[in-house]
Amino acid sequence: MSDFTIDELICTCISRQIVDGELVAQGIATPLVAAGYLLAKLTHAPNLSFVSAIGQALSDTFAPIGIATIEELWLGQGLMSFGFVHGACDFLPRFGPKEFFRPGQVDRYGNFNNLFMGGSYTRPRLRLPGSGGIADVTVFEDKVYLYVPRHGRHTFVEQLDIRSGLGHHPARTTGHGPRYLVSDLGQFDFAPESGRMRLLSLHPGVTLERVQAKTGFPLIIPSPIPPTPEPTAEELHYLRQVIDPLGVRTLELLGGAARKNKLLEILQKEH
Partner 1 sequence: MPVTKIIPLSTALGWVQDDQTVALGGMTLYRRPVGFVRALLQQKTRPQNLTLLTFTAGLESDMLVGTGVVTCTRTCYFGLEIFGLAPMFTAAASNGQINIIEESEFSLAAGLRAKMGGVGFMPGRAWLGTEMLTIRPDVKTMTDPYTGETVVAFPAIGCDVAVIHVLKADKQGNAILGGNPTIDVELSLVAQTVILTAEEVVDKLPSPIDLPGLTVSGVVHLPQGAWPTSCYPLYPLDGEEILRYIAACHAGELETYIKDG
Q: Which amino acid appears at position 94 of this protein?
A: R
In angstroms, give the least distance from the CB of 179 to partner 1: 17
In angstroms, give the least distance from the CB of 72 to partner 1: 9
How many whole angstroms separate alpha carbon 153 and alpha carbon 212? 10
Name the residues that contact partner 1, by CB under 8 A: 28-29, 31, 53-57, 67-71, 75-76, 78, 81-85, 87-89, 115-116, 119, 121-136, 138-140, 162-166, 169, 171-174, 248, 251, 259-260, 263-264, 266-267, 270
Using the CB atoms, write b or e for 15-31: b if 16+ within 10 Å: bbbbeeebbbbbbeebb
For partner 1, the closer CB: 56 or 183: 56
For partner 1, the closer CB: 78 or 97: 78
In angstroms, give the least distance from the CB of 54 to partner 1: 7
Residues 6+ apart with CB under 8 A from 56: 81, 82, 83, 84, 86, 87
For partner 1, the closer CB: 203 or 249: 249
Q: Which amino acid appears at position 26 of this protein?
A: Q
In angstroms, give the least distance from the CB of 28 to partner 1: 5
For partner 1, the closer CB: 61 or 232: 61
Positive or negative: CA dihedral 191, 181, 106, 122: negative
Neighbours of 267 (CB within 10 A): 13
For partner 1, the closer CB: 32 or 199: 32
71's enclosing H/E stretch is helix 70-71
Phi/psi class of residue 115: alpha, beta or left (left: φ > 0; alpha: ψ in -120 to 50)? alpha
In angstroms, give the least distance from the CB of 130 to partner 1: 4
